[in-house]
Chain A
Amino acid sequence: MDDPYEILGVSRTASAEEIRNAYRRLAKRWHPDTNPDKPEAEARFKAISAAYALLSDSEQRARFDRGEIDATGAERAPPSRPGGGAGGWRDWAEASGGARYRSSRGGFEGQFDESDLEDFLARAFGGAARARGPARGADLRFSLQVSFLDAARGASHQVTLPDGRTLRVAIPKGAETGTVLRLPGQGMPGGAEGAPPGDALVVLEVEPHRFFRREGDDVLLDLPVTLKEAVLGARVEVPTVDGPVTLTIPPRSAEGTRLRLRGRGMNGGHQYVVLKPVLPAGPEPELEEFLKRWTPRDASDPRAGMLSP
């Protein structure tokens, strides 16, 4: 054992009051019950207590000062069960019988039981405590990105879990972002004998598509058409999630006209084609020449009423 004066950080001539104050300060700092994360605290606290036990006793202190006893020989740790030392409460409190002094409930429930653990797990990991049966394994939750078309058509994906297992995940037709697929028994193994494993929960995240948008069960598609097609009408090929189909554009279709392809959406929804007439990219002298001489039969102003809202 080291010099008790050094342990308490006081001089050899310190008064009893100084020693007492030094001890208080150090004991507060190193009390094992307030330093559970510092394993050295208990040893420190014991040393501090022993040093104080020696120096607070004027007779013992005088004998130590005279060299009649060494620090170990004079040690008078507070009475405690063997090995318990001054921090003996910890040994009791951490043993399984420690639940006798459980904080939340008074009384004498005794041993740490399964419901304690369930409560703890529920609070610590956010899951619901399960009331009965052997504790089943935890659910594994992960997200999976799928393309718009895979979600629309349904698909089968192979995914690799963090623990190295690979699972085949069937994406149902018409799945959308937030769809949760439950793979029973593919989560963490159960804790005890006979405990069922948890489930794997796959949360789908559907990537956006270059052309298609989803609105409920309907699919929207902006379709560029030429000026000629918009004015004269045409039959054109348009993409749907299930492949191209022929669409009839009626004559005189204005910008924003919505044409329905029945049943071409998801889960019985439709696909709506929204027409976006585009002008020719380069100069069109004939068209310009014609427009200069052209008097529309409909002479109404398309902006009528807009200037005085």
Chain B
Amino acid sequence: MITLDAVAARFPEVAPGELALWIERRWVRAERDPDDAWRLTEMDVARVRLLVELRVTLEVTEELIPVVLSLIDQLYDARRSVRAILAALDEQPAAVRAAVLDAARRQPSD
């Protein structure tokens, strides 16, 4: 677990106070430790890096961030589901895999 200050030090391009704001808006889902200070996981730090790319590099405006984040999160929800299904499919006998793939190809693709 990483403190907010340590994370801020890693991203000097982010204005002070901005990080706390991202956490309060739950764009970064950090948790509080017993002393009420924010603690970030490595994943939260990766999330901060994503936000830095969006806000600083790509200059996405603050108002658009929730939309962009929501779309990105939905996309990865779907990708995780697809991976889970593919992994499950992988464990099936060859005949089942073939039947599922065959059925999937026959689905209308729109």
Chain A residues, CB < 8 A from B50: 33, 88-89
Contact of B26 among A79, A99, A106, A112 (CB under 8 A): A106
In contact, A93 and B81 (Cβ under 8 angstroms): no
A94-B76 CB under 8 A given contacts A24-B58, A79-B10, A80-B49: yes
7 more A-B contacts (CB under 8 A) besides A103-B74, A108-B29, A163-B99? A24-B57, A79-B10, A94-B79, A94-B80, A112-B84, A120-B85, A163-B98
When A and B form their complex, what is the total count of cross-chain residue pairs whose Cβ atoms lie within 8 Å?
103
Counting chain B residues whose Cβ lies within 8 A of the other chain, the interface size class is 35 or more
Q: Interface readout for A99-122 with B: 1 if CB under 8 Å, 0 if not?
A: 111111010100010001100110
Task: Evaluate contact between B29 and A101: CB separation under 8 angstroms.
Answer: yes
18 sampled A-B residue pairs with Cβ under 8 A: A27-B53, A31-B58, A33-B75, A88-B46, A88-B50, A91-B46, A92-B42, A92-B43, A92-B47, A93-B79, A101-B73, A103-B77, A104-B77, A116-B81, A116-B84, A162-B103, A191-B88, A191-B92
* Chain B 21-53 per-residue mask, 1 if CB under 8 angstroms from chain A, else 0: 000001001010000000000110011011001
Quick check: is A189 within 8 A (CB to CB) of the other chain? yes
Q: How far is the CB of B61 from chain A (nearest CB, A)?
A: 14
Residue A209 at the chain B interface, CB threshold 8 Å: no
Q: Kindly state whether residue B70 has any CB partner on chain A within 8 Å.
A: yes
Contact at B73–A108, with CB atoms within 8 Å? no
Return chain B residues, CB-CB under 8 Å to A116: 77, 80-81, 84
* CB nearest to A97 among chain B residues: B43
Residues of A within 8 A of B (CB): 24, 27-28, 31, 33, 36, 78-81, 84, 86, 88-94, 96-104, 106, 108, 112, 116-117, 120-121, 124, 162-163, 188-189, 191
Task: Name B residues whose Cβ lies closer than 8 Å to a Cβ of A.
Answer: 10, 26, 29, 31, 42-43, 46-47, 49-50, 53, 57-59, 70, 72-81, 83-85, 88, 92-93, 95-96, 98-100, 102-103
User: Which residue on A lies nearest to B95, using beta carbons?
Assistant: A163
Complex: how many Å from CA A102 to CA B79? 11
B96 to chain A, nearest CB (A): 6
Residues of B within 8 A of A100 (CB): 29, 43
Report the minimal beta-carbon distance from A45 to chain B, rounded to whole angstroms: 10
User: Would A27 and B57 count as touching, CB distance under 8 A?
Assistant: yes
Which of A81, A108, A117 is close to B42, meaning CB atoms less than 8 Å apart?
A: A81
Contacts A89-B50, A103-B73, A120-B81 hold; do A28 and B58 have CB atoms under 8 A apart? yes
CA distance A28 to B59 in the complex (A): 10
How long is the Cα–Cα vector from A90 to B43 in the complex, in angstroms? 10
A24-B59, A27-B57, A188-B96 known; A89 and B47 CB under 8 Å? Answer: yes
| Known A-B contacts A108-B31, A163-B98; A78 and B49 likewise in contact (beta carbons under 8 Å) | yes
